[in-house]
Amino acid sequence: MVADLNPTPGQDIATHAEFFAREGYVNVPGMFNPGEVEEIRELFTRMHDEGVPGHYEPRKVHDGVANPDDPLFQYPRVMMPHRFNDRAKHYMTLPRVADHLRVFFGEEPVATQSMFYFKPPGARGQALHQDQFYLLVEPGSCIAAWTAIDDTDVENGAIMVVPKTSKAEIYCPTVADANVSYTSHFVPVPKGLKPQLVPMKAGDTLFFNGSLIHGSGPNRSKTRFRRAFISHYAAGNLQKISGGYRPLTRMDGTEYDVEAQTSGGPCGKGWTGSLH
């Protein structure tokens, strides 16, 4: 099922916020202009070509075995690029993004994470999950800003959301199917609800609540990437967060810190601090 309730270009932040509050997500068309999209695409292509030791996630494995032929082995995600690249930090703290987050949170936001996904042709997707399961923001929850760097659709593995799960509890996941998901966690869809595909144009930004169940299917295209620049944020009044997301970054670019979350959330301490 394809989501058909997205705002149209030209609508104001208040309209976006109303949709976000009701559905748990909102796709804001054209948040990033074509020049910015191209700069981000070139920036991370260069990182991939030149390498950024220590900032790629561990090479993906399937059934415990590293496979050099796996597209995600060849194109691993770049983790926390804002910590070593000023342009990545610039886009994570982009004022247009911050303006939306202030309305969504009702106060000043802080950035907790940045990532870049390449999702090349043939890559597996990511099973349905909840971001707050990993970040364990306290109080409140996190919000993701997921910016498409390529046009996305069902063929190249566009993101899927389960509307109205933003107020859901945080579920302890079951095991995902490794043939279609590069991550091992899977959150089943609550009874009576259905995932909806959210097709996006390059430059669109999908904001969604940390409890919202979401994920994506494999990239079944033979030639098209599905690149995305993703950042996570919390309200500035947070007191705790999983340790791997510290230190935090204010929207003016300065850093500060909060207490590391030690509770492990509803699933126990073994889950605490895992970057996803």
What's the pTM?
0.91
pLDDT at residue 272, rounded to an integer: 46
Share of the chain above pLDDT 70, in %: 88
Token pair for 219:
């990239």
Give the residue extent of every domain in the chain: 21-50+86-261
pLDDT of 8 over the 50 cut: no
User: What is the rounded average pLDDT of the residues 202-228?
Assistant: 98
| d(C-alpha 34, C-alpha 57), whole Å | 28
Q: Which residue has the tokens 């601090």?
A: 273
| d(C-alpha 5, C-alpha 47), whole Å | 36
pLDDT digits 0-9 by tens, 184-202: 999 999 999 999 999 999 9
Q: Is the dihedral of CA 135, 174, 199, 10 positive or negative?
A: negative
User: 21-50+86-261: what CATH class?
Assistant: mainly beta
Using pLDDT thresholds of 50, 70 and 90, give the confidence band for residue 241. very high
pLDDT of 9 over the 70 cut: no
Cα first-last separation, the chain: 26
Q: Using CA atoms in the order 66, 71, 72, 77, what is the torsion angle rounded to 10 degrees?
A: 140
Q: Is the dihedral of CA 24, 25, 26, 31 positive or negative?
A: positive
Q: Is the dihedral of CA 73, 79, 84, 89 positive or negative?
A: positive
Comparing 74 with 58, which gets the higher pLDDT? 74
Overall residue count recorded for the chain in this entry: 276
pLDDT of 121 over the 70 cut: yes
